[in-house]
Amino acid sequence: MTGVLLLGGTGAVGRGCFDVLTRLGGIHFVLAGRDEARLRAVASGVDVEIARIDVTDAAAVAAAATHCDVVINCAGPSTRFSAQVAEVAIAAGVPYVDPGGDHALIDRLTAYGTGVPVVLQAGVQPGLSGLLLRLLALHRAGAIDDVTAWCGGLQELTSASVLEYLASLHDTQSHSGAVLRDGVIRRATPDDCVPAPAPHFSQSATARPHLDTETVAVAAHLGIDSVCWMNVFDGAHTTRAMQRLAIDDERSHDLEAVRSAAKLDLFGREPYFAIVARAHDSLGSTTAAFSCPDSYRATGAVAAFAAMQVANMPAGVHPFWSIDEPSRALEFVTDAIPQATLSCCRDSALPIEEGAL
């Protein structure tokens, strides 16, 4: 990969992806977005090509894409932009990477037909979350009886991240308040709702069951019949503001109120993000955990890794969790993020060294 068109390069995820890839070196960037001044600020000190492009301008995106080896689309929310940009990249014959994209888009692009490799859901959830489940399976000698997982934390919110969350609530293929039990999607019971574990999460965090299509797909791939996936929220003000916005059914997007609530919850505290998955069998349990201060940079690092791999993948649509070598992907993301940690160990045992993953 020598030429990259990075769309949405001034956002939190785009900046993270740009920083990770520029540190690798040897890549010619076309850094694209609507605000040229912000693009130049992001690119300060780096030799890149700046392109003022609106992602909704298909002709402009196509013209820039034809001179690149891969298109990375970090413009959000993905529910608004991913489908059109993906189709433009595919028509131009250029491999495509996107941190977003729901299962409906995977089905749509698969039906549309692609002559190039496409990687969707190259973010933290979905994306890194599915790889952590695969990591658990790699370090189990026998069959896994069930898995409990927690994902979330305390982060500053962007407008795009709030809109992505609201869109997930309306995804008919995801199941809020549900778990997978004996291969069947069921309504969660109070017994399923296990508190988010310390030290990965604060005591103030709350956990709520949410079963998405990635979790169901990975469980089927690994032959796991029972999974309880918990989304973790740490911030009472943010939770209430998000609930009000969801109840309003997106008719009044008071996004700034939600972002202000998140800043209030962060006051005097350090941001954090974690994914923890615990597998049980007849011999005990094994826990895999990833944590970092910044989920947006983590998403950017995941997209960067996908961009490095996509040209060598077969044509077709690939959710990120399905890529080869999940351990190497997790190690890459961990190394790319200051203060990030990755571990996988038998409970009550010493952790496996990162180099042994």
Which tens digit of pLDDT belongs to each residue from 194-205?
Answer: 999 999 999 999
Whole-prediction pTM value?
A: 0.92
Same-domain status, 150 and 271: yes
Q: What share of the chain is helix, strand, coil (3-state, %, to 5)?
A: 40, 25, 35
The answer to the question of residue 50 being in a domain is yes
State the pLDDT at residue 26. 87
Same-domain status, 144 and 240: yes
d(CA 115, CA 228) in angstroms, rounded, equals: 37
Same-domain status, 235 and 170: yes
> How is residue 146 written in tokens?
């069930």
State the pLDDT at residue 279. 95
d(CA 198, CA 11) in angstroms, rounded, equals: 31
State the pLDDT at residue 51. 92
pLDDT, tens only, 233-261: 998 898 888 888 777 654 455 788 888 99
| C-alpha R_g of the chain | 20
Same-domain status, 135 and 172: yes
State the pLDDT at residue 353. 44
State the pLDDT at residue 16. 95
Among candidate residues 151, 179, 140, 154, the one with its CA nearest the CA of residue 276: 151
Place of tokens 């209030």: 264
Among candidate residues 259, 185, 166, 276, the one with its CA nearest the CA of residue 226: 185
Residue 18 has pLDDT above 90, yes or no: yes
The answer to the question of residue 286 being in a domain is yes
Same-domain status, 7 and 116: yes
| Domain limits for position 73 | 2-122+296-336
The answer to the question of residue 356 being in a domain is no
pLDDT, tens only, 47-63: 899 999 999 999 999 99
Q: Directed axis angle between helix 236-247 and helix 159-169, to 10°?
A: 60
The answer to the question of residue 281 being in a domain is yes
Which run of H or E residues covers position 253?
none
The answer to the question of residue 357 being in a domain is no
Residue 68 has pLDDT above 70, yes or no: yes
Domain count within the chain:
2
State the pLDDT at residue 249. 54
Helical segments of the chain, H only: 12-24, 36-42, 58-65, 78-92, 103-112, 128-138, 159-169, 213-222, 236-247, 255-266, 295-310, 326-336
The answer to the question of residue 354 being in a domain is no
Confidence of residue 351 (pLDDT cuts 50, 70, 90): very low
Confidence of residue 352 (pLDDT cuts 50, 70, 90): very low
In this prediction, residues 317-344 reach a mean pLDDT of 96
Same-domain status, 245 and 332: no
In this prediction, residues 326-335 reach a mean pLDDT of 96
State the pLDDT at residue 253. 54
pLDDT, tens only, 99-121: 999 889 999 999 988 899 999 99
- Give percent of the chain above pLDDT 70: 95
At 25, which CATH number?
Answer: 3.40.50.720
Same-domain status, 286 and 150: yes
Confidence of residue 350 (pLDDT cuts 50, 70, 90): very low
The answer to the question of residue 353 being in a domain is no
